[in-house]
């Protein structure tokens, strides 16, 4: 699922992904379209899964707010609290939720494919 979402953000395989969560790393380790990186700076996308990762992302993205890597969250609150995060895929009440924020996508010059248009919102 994440490979499809990352492709919608205009990223070509293999996507270089930074995620510090051990469980997510073990899942992505088996994905043919995703290559894990050990550093924030060498990634195409950073998956924000914890408060610590959110703080790291805020610090690091301050240096390059509109360039790579793209920040993507696994929690609605991370998406809401970090202006640099372009979207989130998370679970709420047993249902998967996918959101992209238009203004933030525009800042990165990202146009998601039409089939994802229903997931693009103007604001939270």
Describe the strand order of the beta sheet including 85-92 as a list of residue ranges: 34-36, 15-18, 45-48, 70-73, 85-92, 95-101, 120-121
CATH class of the domain at 2-121:
alpha beta
Q: Give the model's confidence band at 56: pLDDT under 50 very low, under 70 low, under 90 confident, else very high.
A: confident
- pLDDT tens, position by position, 59-95: 887 766 567 899 999 999 999 998 889 999 999 999 9
């Amino acid at each position: 699922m994440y490979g499809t979402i990352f492709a919608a953000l205009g990223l070509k395989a293999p996507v270089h992904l930074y995620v510090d969560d051990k469980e997510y790393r073990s899942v992505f380790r088996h994905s043919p379209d995703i290559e894990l990186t050990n550093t924030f700076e060498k990634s195409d996308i950073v998956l924000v899964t914890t408060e610590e990762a959110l703080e790291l992302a805020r610090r690091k993205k301050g240096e390059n707010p509109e360039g790579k890597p793209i920040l993507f969250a696994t929690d609605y609150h991370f998406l809401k609290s970090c202006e640099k995060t372009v979207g989130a895929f998370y679970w709420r009440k047993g249902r998967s939720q996918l959101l992209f924020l238009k203004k933030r996508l525009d800042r990165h010059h990202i146009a998601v494919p039409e089939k994802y248009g229903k997931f693009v919102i103007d604001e939270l």
